[in-house]
Amino acid sequence: MLFFTQCFGAVLDLIHLRFQHYKAKRVFSAAGQLVCVVNPTHSLKYAPTRCAAVQASTEQGILPPCHHHEAVHDPQLVPCTCPLFSCPWEGHLEVVVSHLRQTHRISILQGAEIVFLATDMHLPAPTDWIIMHSCLGHQFLLVLRKQEKHEGHPQFFATMMLIGTPTQANNFTYRLELNRNQRRLKWEATPRSILECVDSVISDGDCLVLNTSLAQLFSDNGSLAIGIAITTSKVHSSEAEM
């Protein structure tokens, strides 16, 4: 009986997930957009990340101490950019995507315009919804995070990071759009480089920020659909034409 109950519960979860995916595809198929259903993950990353620590030291003009018995750190190596875990991995920027896919199992979706469907928005903070987006010859990391900046008042933060350098990031513009019940909310900005750290972007508030009430206005049965579009910036386009 216990085995039957567990199996039945698993089947119901699968049916619920497929129903959400079908409903999203039905809503956005007219626009020709790809839909990706993203399940939440509780963040296990409580300690300050290495990149955040280095960034803070640099801003204060303090360089990390160098001891004679330590190997010289390769400045071209970057720490793991996954916002979910305190991962000790380091590697070159060119292999970050492979690390995120193989080690942290982050999905990647291709297309100029996609729909990011985050499920189970009611889960307590801290919770993250993450996906990689490949378009225009580059890879981007979309992070939706539920976090409490003030105790008892969770907020949702959504940002797009380019897995590349800040110079490359300046060549693009991303747009996040919420659209439901005759309401529309858009956020448009230049993506930040993954080298700048997701935690810093969220702390600075340089992203789409939703309080719980606003998120509920755009959610449907506990799921939030975010339309994503990435284009080359006007400055970059004009330079290309010249």
Which run of H or E residues covers position 227?
strand 223-232
pLDDT of residue 110: 87
pLDDT of residue 149: 83
56 pLDDT higher than 50: no
Per-residue CA distances from 133 to 64, 110, 192, 221 (Å):
34, 6, 14, 25
Contact 112, 222 (CB under 8 A): no
Distance CA 182, CA 28 (A): 15
Share of the chain above pLDDT 90, in %: 44
DSSP 18-43: HHHHHHHHHHHGGGT-EEEEE--EE-
Calculate the dihedral angle through the C-alpha atoms of 113, 145, 232, 99, rounding to the nearest 10 degrees: -90
Q: Given the structure tokens 């990071």, which residue do they identify?
A: 161
